Amino acid sequence: MFAVDEDYLPSWNHLGAAVAAGGPAAFERAHGVPMFRYMGTNTRLNRVFNNAMVQQTMMVISKLLERFKGFDGISVLVDVGGGTGATLEMITSRYKHIRGINFDLPHALSEAPAMPGVQHVPGNMFEEVPYGDAIFLKSILHLQNDDDCIKILRNCHRALPEHGKVIALEIVLPAIPEATPVAQNPFRFDVIMLNNFRGGKERTEQEFAKLARDSGFDGEFGSTYIFANYWALEFSK
């Protein structure tokens, strides 16, 4: 419902100007402020967005828990940009030894319910990130330009112990795209990022690996295919 919401859909009318002139993204041109700042003032749209993210999270995280084995040995997992906490609720329900810290902007946490084993912590990922054994980023990096990705990842690096890691769950573009519907789908998301966020984009695995190195993660880089072009990427210190 978010994609056709009355407060979101008109942003597409500004995409041509955003591409031709650069500067603010189409959504920002439509509303005068960046998308997440706007949702901090529009309670109804924020609720619609959070509900959409919960539904998408349930589908993708259920596949993650089937196929990804990188949560073993983690005691404290910080979900940066975790919204209402749906991701951590699913992870900590499966891995009961993990204590979760759900970290997001205050308006994103405003409707987050209390849940066992999860602490909701307000804050800004561009300033600092809570300490944990590992940090989870679901669909965060594709919202940012490269410089902002590096800012976030360096904050994550500082918040991790020796041999700690970031687990980034992201759509990954194929290095050599094919003319098939499956290959084309991630590029549709790339256009959505172009519409919504200044500098937002999907990336190839090689581009994610470079972001990790440029942010100080010089340990092992791992990737596990999850579902529908989503990959779990591990950046280790």
234 counts as catalytic: no
Catalytic, 111? Answer no
Q: Is the backbone of residue 22 left (phi > 0), alpha (psi -120 to 50) or beta?
A: left
Active-site residue, selected from the candidate residues 28, 89, 170, 234: 170
Q: DSSP class of residue 115?
A: B
Cα–Cα distance for residue pair 214/126, rounded to 1 Å: 16
Instruction: Fill in the amino acid letter for 64.
Output: L
Q: Are 71 and 77 in contact (CB under 8 A)?
A: yes
Read off the amino acid at residue 7: D
Catalytic member of 89, 142, 157, 234: 142
- CA dist 19 and 191 (Å) reads 11
Euclidean distance between CA atoms 104 and 236, whole angstroms: 23
Residue 43 CB neighbours (<10 A): 12
Contact by Cβ (8 Å): 232, 205: no
Q: Encoding tokens for residue 112?
A: 């987050």
Given 202, 207, 220, 234, the catalytic residue: 202
Which residues carry out catalysis?
142, 170, 202
